[in-house]
Amino acid sequence: MTNKLKYTGWLAIAVFTVSCSTAQKSSETVLENQMDSLSYAIGVSMGESINQQPLIEVNVEAVKSGLEKQIAGGNEWELADVDAFLRKTMTEMAQAEQLKAKADGEKFLEENGKKDGVITTASGLQYQVVQEGEGASPDFNDIVTVHYSGTLTDGTPFDSSVEKGVPMTRPANQLIAGWTEGLQLMKPGSKFKFFIPSELGYGERPPGAVIPPHAVLVFDVELISFETVD
């Protein structure tokens, strides 16, 4: 994406912000007219864009200096060099973060697998029987109806049919690999806790922003029923 496109994105958000509110005052900046509000909104949008990046710390004074110099036309860096530097640095940081997440996940599973009641399968899936059900278990192609709640290993929630108040019904083979395997170990009425390694979950490409790449997923799952598919 070019700088022009990036700026256009900030401007669109800024215009939207101004159109939805009147001039406002902050503790440091007095916004007296529409252009003041537009300028402030662009800054807020830029700040939010920075917040969405995997940066641990940002030198705000350096950001301010680069912004002022570029607006004044006195920036020492070529824009092509800036784009190349940003892409390279952000890629390196993202890769480092992914390696750390993968190592943290492996450590979690190693320690978790030593706990009483936790069973590790040949694939690496870990599960714990909370409540045993009765009857037969679903097969790979069967349609299952379940209630579930999913969290990261630190307890951060990301999805829950329980909170939605509606159980999920879906073919077992259309779920992530850890679920497909784990459900075949359950019987109707069972309640299991799944600890799903990244390679049996979403790997490097998780959906949404809450689940990071290479995340170990923890699910509380209740198998309500299943429909056999021949």
The 8-class DSSP code of residue 199 comes to G
Task: State which H helix or E strand residue 12 sits in.
Answer: helix 3-20
* Catalytically active residues, by annotation: 148, 158-159, 176, 202, 219
The helix (H) or strand (E) run that includes residue 145 is strand 143-152
Core vs surface per residue 1-30: b (16+ CB within 10 A) or e? eeeeeeeeebeebbeebbeeeeeeeeeeee
Write down the residue that tokens 């952000």 correspond to: 90
Closest Cα partner for 164 from 179, 188, 183, 147? 147
Q: What number of helices (H) and strands (E) belong to the chain? A: 6, 7
How far is Cα 192 from Cα 183, in angstroms, rounded to an integer? Answer: 9
Per the listing, tokens 């110099």 go with 69
Q: What SS3 state is found at 162?
A: helix
Return the exposure string of 142-173: e unless at least 16 CB atoms fall within 10 Å of the residue's CB, then b: bbbbbbbbbbbbeeeebbebeeeeebeeebbb
